[in-house]
Amino acid sequence: MEKVIKNNTLYFDGCNTVELAKEYGTPLYVISETAIVEKCSEIKETFLNRYERTRAAYASKAFLTLSMCKIIEREGLCMDVVSGGELYTAMKAGFPAERIELNGNNKSVEELELAVEYGIGRIIVDGLDELEIIEAICREKGKKADILYRVTPGVKSDSHDYIVTGKKDSKFGIPLDDEVIFPAVEKAINSEYVNFLGFHFHVGSQLHDNESHLKALDIVLKLIKDTKEKYGFATPELNIGGGFGIKYTDADNSKPYAYFLDPMMEKIQQFSKDLGITRPEIVIEPGRSIIGEAGITLYTVGTIKDIKGVRKYVSVDGGMTDNIRPALYQAKYEGLAANKADEPKTDMVTICGKCCESGDVLIRDAQVTQLKRGDIFAVFSTGAYGYAMASNYNKNPLPATVLVKNGKAELIVKRQSYEHMIENELIPDSLK
């Protein structure tokens, strides 16, 4: 999303960010609807409209609110959820059930019951015992569920270990050992309570190279071939996941969707032709790549500590409570002073949060203009996994979120109050 500087002030999707901070307070998540739509349009142009029998399911764990559900529905995408809470949010927003897919490595019985009762489009089965739970629920409710198996291709991706999911040593997916996967496939094919549609894999997140996608695809295509030869089953559907990287800093070499998808589709189409089967319906699960660069976070500068010869700390009124990624896996961000956007960046500082943790650092060694208390500091590309992973650590309330488009701003998440933060806490009679 284009960020514009006018009169020394940062504008985002036509909105004056300093005015946004003044009106809604800080910390403040700001989401550009224009940027979301641009990414959805790219997916439609280069994938959905280019290849028949394809779907794109937004990986809602990156950022999910009722308003985001409405945007994704309007743009014609499906929705990937990984918990009862995400499914409930989609349901409350009226998102079409048949366009919802449920992922997750440890779905509860209650979550699976909710999914079956609501009639969602797909359940991505992640473990061997999960099928039995789904069958029992469907037997009791007189329903039949459409399922895929999530498998672990066993490939290593070039990303942080915490967000690599396709390697064999992973909590996600069913390993591809013959004695494990094939009995599971046979059971699903023969089940009277599920429709077995195929396979799902996901190699990791924030990837800028397509090598691991292509390696994983080769492995799963062999699984499809073996399944055809063993059981005469032509796999109707293949979900190839997401993980397409975005630009957080100038060091990130982000690629268009076509860079990942075109060679994969070419490989799948040739494989299907050689095997003499109809090419499976292909599903992708972009999340971060849709919402990541569509968001920024605004903070107000507070205490500044200049430790001579060591480091200059600039504290802001948020931190790891609204963006845990730098503390969790050393994620890097860039930003600038929204109210001094054109001024020379002559100072080297560390932008840190207000939590009682030394690791509460948002940007280390940031080149910025001279900052002072009260300045508004904007951190870019925070749309993904900021709001979604926010916490009340140190009893800090959750920030508000505004949706901006062409100079207009609308509140989509209210700022949490202290009262709201403790509303579920009780004092038992024994302590009164």
Active site residues: 356
* Site of tokens 């999530």: 150
E-only strand ranges, 285-391: 295-307, 311-316, 335-337, 347-352, 361-368, 376-380
Report whether 47 contacts 68 (CB < 8 A).
Answer: no
Structural tokens at position 374: 């009260």
Phi then psi for residue 270, to 5 deg, are -65, -40
H or E segment and range at residue 213: helix 211-231
Q: Which of 285, 350, 289, 355 is CA-nearest to residue 324?
A: 355
Q: How far is CA 337 from the centre of its chain?
A: 27
Sign of torsion, CA 70 59 214 180?
negative
Q: Say how far apart CA 72 and CA 181 lie, in whole Å.
A: 34
Which residue matches tokens 């109809």? 278
DSSP character string of 26-69: SSEEEEEHHHHHHHHHHHIIIIITTSSSEEEEEEGGGS--HHHH
Token pair belonging to 289: 């790549």
Residue 280 and residue 150: Cα distance in Å, rounded? Answer: 16
Question: Looking up tokens 């009106």, which residue turns up?
Answer: 23
Q: Is 46 exposed, middle or buried (0-12, 13-18, 19+ CB in 10 A)?
A: middle
- What is the C-alpha to C-alpha distance for residues 73 and 420, in angstroms, rounded to an integer? 30
Residue whose entry in the numeric block shows the structure tokens 């690791």: 359
Spatial separation of the C-alpha atoms in residues 152 and 165, rounded to whole Å: 8
Q: What three-state secondary structure class fits 358?
A: coil
